[in-house]
Every structure is written in structure tokens, then in C-alpha cells.
């Protein structure tokens, strides 16, 4: 697989998001199978893996550590801090990016992951009660101490990113971005280009919707996070079907799948964009990685842009209680 640069961090052009190995989509998968899929992704060329203390909480970091420990020197591992999670009970109560808390989280994440240093450390969400300069300064100190290599931010506003970057250069921004979630385009992507920051789209397949395998008739379990998402109500899924039909149309003409077109579209946007699709299945990993070989011409991209602009995507991308933490 070809490599791309997030700032000065070199990673595979498609990464792997491991959040799906928690119970967010329902019951957690078997650990042995999860490890097989994660290692299988690496065997097929993936060198960039994403986790967070909040996934589980903590259990996802432990899983990723077990899966990637034997090949540690061949991969880049990203994790995140930013939520106020009790280390003993796992109870979460809002945000916490106080420098002393960040230091404790990093020590705990290093232990969970079995690492000496974290390749990319993101602030998971911006904490309005802590100056971003203090957050960046705390990460800068961790980099100086050898515990962290690179600083990232997730779902942050452009002005906040710029302020943080003056204290500690930001390597990557991670925010939701896909053909049906275009929020980063007006301000975040131009800022990334200006400052030489890489961009990592999470949920690049629209939590599965853009693959074409979910429609208005799909039964979503109450334990699946999508059951609470405004964009996954039955009405919204029905209304948003034209987006899937657009991807299917392009996929048919290219001998590809809708998922591959959705990922190839992101790869074609900028050379410093590295999507991190997640899946619990190795065959889906293989399908997703096939996007790296799919060439979308300028004519293809123009066609997608014109047709997508005529589709009014229905439903907020996240519940209000979650959206309140974004773009601050």
C-alpha cells in the first residue's frame, strides 16, 4: 500500500479505526477474532491504527496493544485523551483536558497499549474549561519526555487549531468527513493545507450507510449507537438513499463497490487525507483497501460533486448531546 504524510508522520494511505471492536454496534466481538482482523489488516498493508481511552473505556486500548504488540515497530498507533473517565470505575463525566489529567491518561494508555511511546496523541474533544495553549503545552512536555511523538486534535474548530499549533505543531486533525458529512470543508481543510497538517476522516463510510448495505428496512438494535442517531431514523435512511444510489452508480461504472468509491473519493480530495474505516470483518477490510487501487478521474469527481450537491442529506450526523462537543 502507498504511504501518505500526516504532517511528518508517514502512514499507510488507508488506516484502520478499531472502535467497532467495542460494544458500540451491539455486543462486543470475540477477542481472538478481533485480533485476527486487526493483524490481518496489517498483513494487507495497513500501518496506521486508531484507538482511544474512551473506547470501552480502556478495553479497546488493551485489545489494540495485544494485537499490535508483536509488530509494534511496523505500525503507528494513535490514541486519545479528553474525557473525564474514572480510572477505577470507567464512569465518564464530561470533559477533562487539565494538564495533570492528560499526564495521568497518557501513563495509563501507555500501560494499556504496552508501549513506551504513543505515535499520535489526539485531544478527543476540546475542553472549553482549559485553555488550548495549556493543553498543547502539556502534550509538548510529553513529547519532550519521549512519551508521545505527535500531537493531534479531534473535532476542533479552526481558530482553536491555529492557537494550539503556535504552542505545539499539530500533526493531524481527526473529524467526521465523508460524502454525506462535509463539515470540515469550509474552514478545517484549508487550514490543514495552510499549516501542513494531515487530516484523518473518521466514519468515512457514514457508519456503514454509504456501503449500500443499510436501508430504511434495516433493523437497528437498541444497543447499537445508530439507534439514537438522527441520521439513522427510518425516515432519514429512506430520504438519504439517493446518496447511496449515486455511489452505486459510480461503483457499477468502475467495477467497484460503493464503499470503495466513498473511500476513493476521500483519497482523491487531498494527498494528506488518510481515512480510517472500521470493521469487524476481514473481508470488509479487504474490500475497503481495494479503494486504494480505484482511480477516480477529475471527470468522475466533478460528476460526483454535481450530483451530490443536489442531495439534501437528512438528519444531524450525531445526537445533540454529542454534537455539543464538536467544533469548539
Q: In 3D, which of 276, 235, 280 has the Cα closest to residue 27? A: 280
**All three cell numbers of 319:** 445526537
Cell 451530490, residue? Answer: 308
Q: In 3D, which of 268, 259, 273, 260 has the Cα closest to residue 305? A: 268
Characterize the bridge pairing of strands 118-123 and 148-154: parallel
How far apart, in whole angstroms, are the C-alpha atoms of residue 31 and residue 124?
25
Q: In 3D, which of 281, 10, 19, 45 has the Cα closest to residue 154? A: 19
Query: Active site includes 325?
Result: no
* Beta carbons within 10 angstroms of residue 227's beta carbon: 13
Q: In 3D, which of 32, 33, 79 has the Cα closest to residue 276? A: 79
What one-character DSSP code corresponds to residue 39? H
290: which residues sit within 8 A by CB, 6+ positions away? Answer: 256, 257, 260
Characterize the bridge pairing of strands 16-17 and 48-50: parallel
127, exposed or middle or buried, with CB in 10 Å at 0-12, 13-18, 19+?
A: buried
Characterize the bridge pairing of strands 92-95 and 118-123: unpaired
Phi, psi of 20 (to 5 degrees): -65, -10
Q: Dihedral of the CA atoms 284, 290, 296, 300 (nearest 10)?
A: -30
How far apart, in whole angstroms, are the C-alpha atoms of residue 326 and residue 157?
8
**All three cell numbers of 188:** 478545517
Catalytic residue among 25, 55, 122, 177: 55
User: Chain centroid to CA 90: how far?
Assistant: 22
Residues noted as catalytic:
55
Amino acid at each position: 500500500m502507498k504511504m501518505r504524510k500526516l504532517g511528518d508522520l508517514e502512514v499507510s494511505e488507508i488506516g484502520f479505526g478499531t472502535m467497532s471492536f467495542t460494544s458500540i454496534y451491539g455486543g462486543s466481538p470475540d477477542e481472538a477474532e478481533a485480533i485476527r482482523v486487526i493483524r490481518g489488516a496489517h498483513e494487507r498493508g495497513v500501518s496506521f491504527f486508531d484507538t482511544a481511552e474512551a473506547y470501552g473505556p480502556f478495553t479497546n486500548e488493551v485489545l489494540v496493544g495485544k494485537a499490535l504488540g508483536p509488530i509494534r515497530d511496523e505500525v503507528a498507533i494513535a490514541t486519545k485523551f479528553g474525557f473525564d473517565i474514572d480510572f477505577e470505575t470507567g464512569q465518564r463525566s464530561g470533559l477533562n483536558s487539565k494538564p495533570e489529567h492528560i499526564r495521568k491518561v497518557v501513563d495509563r494508555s501507555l500501560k494499556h497499549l504496552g508501549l513506551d511511546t504513543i505515535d499520535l496523541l489526539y485531544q478527543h474533544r476540546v475542553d472549553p474549561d482549559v485553555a488550548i495553549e495549556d493543553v498543547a503545552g502539556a502534550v509538548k512536555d510529553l513529547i519532550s519526555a519521549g512519551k508521545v511523538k505527535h500531537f493531534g486534535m479531534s473535532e476542533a474548530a479552526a481558530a482553536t487549531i491555529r492557537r494550539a499549533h503556535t504552542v505545539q505543531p499539530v500533526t493531524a486533525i481527526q473529524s467526521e468527513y465523508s460524502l454525506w458529512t462535509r463539515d470540515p470543508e469550509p474552514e478545517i481543510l484549508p487550514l490543514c493545507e495552510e499549516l501542513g497538517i494531515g487530516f484523518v476522516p473518521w466514519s468515512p463510510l457514514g457508519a456503514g450507510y454509504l456501503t449500500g448495505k443499510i436501508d430504511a428496512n434495516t433493523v437497528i438494535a437498541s444497543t447499537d449507537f445508530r439507534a439514537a442517531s438522527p441520521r439513522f431514523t427510518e425516515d432519514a435512511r429512506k430520504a438519504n438513499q439517493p446518496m447511496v444510489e449515486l455511489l452505486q452508480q459510480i461503483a457499477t461504472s468502475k467495477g467497484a463497490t460503493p464503499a470503495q468509491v466513498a473511500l476513493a473519493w476521500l483519497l482523491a480530495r487531498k494527498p494528506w487525507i488518510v481515512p480510517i474505516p472500521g470493521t469487524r470483518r476481514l473481508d470488509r477490510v479487504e474490500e475497503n483497501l481495494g479503494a486504494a487501487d480505484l482511480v477516480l478521474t477529475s471527470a468522475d469527481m466533478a460528476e460526483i460533486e454535481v450530483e451530490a450537491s443536489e442531495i439534501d442529506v437528512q438528519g444531524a450526523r450525531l445526537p445533540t448531546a454529542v454534537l455539543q462537543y464538536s467544533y469548539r
